[in-house]
């Protein structure tokens, strides 16, 4: 390019190159990086069919907490109906049911999903955020074919210092992306106190103790959630300790029902100790 090219033209050309690169990038599979036929990219989600089946397999899950269940608990994976059976419950939910009614997630928190979530959450790579949120949106549509959708979405809160460090609340971002298709209202319900101990470093019992007294329902919220069907939105469900605390507070404040949606769910074996 000649050196005397006007600056505005250089700007346009640079933007065109970026746009072309993005178009090419959207046409490739996010996992295998190959360029499948357009008909192989379902619903504009950048995953080829083979990788989608590999990374996001249909599986039996606990209706309440979405914990993956053994194949023998409800027929083979290939024979699963579109909507999960409400009688499919893990041992913990049978023994001590949480205050939330049901959980929907896009997939399991393992490679490559865990890598994509960390890219989105820690590096603000919205490409991975969009991919996972699109898949969660599809799963919500599939799972709620015979059920009423929530009226109000509540993002799992971050302490202000962590939100400032990251630049955003990833759970609120997910809820905002889902809002146009689900048609729910977004509500900021909780204030979170600072915790010196990061939940990621704690086991199941420590997580539960660490959350005591950390979340506070805002005073002006009660009248807005009375008799409403709510959904808590999060990026990852690990032990579901946070969701149990928040849903219990919401139900005690007068909510009619609380559900839980997340991008991914960890396997219980990761947090047994």
The total number of structural domains in the chain stands at 2
Nearest CA-CA partner of 170 in 206, 130, 143, 198: 130
Evaluate whether residue 94 is within a structural domain: yes
- Is residue 171 within 8 Å of residue 153, measured between CB atoms? no
* Residue 220 DSSP symbol: T
The pLDDT confidence band at residue 65, using thresholds 50, 70 and 90, is very high
Going from the C-alpha of 170 to that of each of 3, 72, 103, the distances in angstroms are 43, 35, 18
135 and 264: one domain?
yes
Instruction: Provide the mean pLDDT of the chain.
Output: 82
pTM exceeding the 0.75 threshold for the entire prediction: yes
SS3 assignment, position 141: helix
123 and 243: one domain?
yes
Measured CA to CA, the distance from residue 207 to residue 69 in angstroms comes to 23
Domain residues for 95?
60-271
- Is residue 244 within 8 Å of residue 207, measured between CB atoms? no
SS3 assignment, position 25: helix
Evaluate whether residue 213 is within a structural domain: yes
**Cβ neighbours around 209 below 10 Å, total:** 10
> Tokens standing for 41?
């990219």
70 and 50: one domain?
no
**How much is the pLDDT for 13?**
45
Is the pLDDT at 240 greater than 80, yes or no? Answer: yes
To the nearest 10°, report the CA torsion of 122, 241, 60, 132: -20
């Amino acid at each position: 390019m000649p050196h005397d090219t006007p600056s505005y033209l250089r700007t346009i050309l640079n933007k065109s190159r970026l746009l072309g690169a993005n178009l090419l990038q959207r046409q490739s599979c996010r996992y295998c990086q190959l360029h499948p036929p357009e008909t192989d990219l379902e619903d504009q989600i950048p995953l080829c069919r083979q990788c989608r089946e590999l990374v996001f397999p249909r599986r039996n899950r606990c209706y309440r907490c979405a914990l993956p269940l053994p194949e023998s608990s409800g027929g083979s994976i290939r024979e699963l109906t579109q909507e999960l059976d409400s009688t499919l419950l893990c041992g913990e939910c049978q023994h001590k049911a949480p205050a939330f009614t049901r959980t929907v997630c896009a997939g399991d928190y393992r490679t490559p999903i865990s890598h994509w979530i960390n890219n989105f959450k820690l590096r603000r790579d919205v490409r991975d955020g969009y991919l996972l949120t699109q898949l969660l949106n599809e799963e919500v549509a599939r799972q709620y074919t015979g059920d009423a959708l929530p009226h109000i979405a509540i993002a799992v809160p971050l302490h202000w210092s962590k939100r400032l460090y990251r630049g955003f609340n990833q759970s609120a971002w997910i809820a905002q992306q889902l809002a146009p298709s689900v048609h729910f209202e977004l509500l900021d319900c909780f204030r979170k106190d600072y915790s010196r101990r990061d939940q990621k470093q704690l086991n199941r019992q420590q997580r539960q103790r660490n959350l005591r007294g950390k979340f506070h329902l805002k005073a002006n919220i009660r009248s807005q959630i009375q008799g409403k069907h709510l959904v808590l939105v999060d990026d990852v469900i690990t032990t579901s300790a946070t969701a149990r605390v928040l849903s219990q507070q919401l139900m005690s404040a007068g909510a009619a029902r609380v559900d839980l949606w997340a991008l991914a769910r960890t396997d219980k074996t990761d947090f047994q100790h």
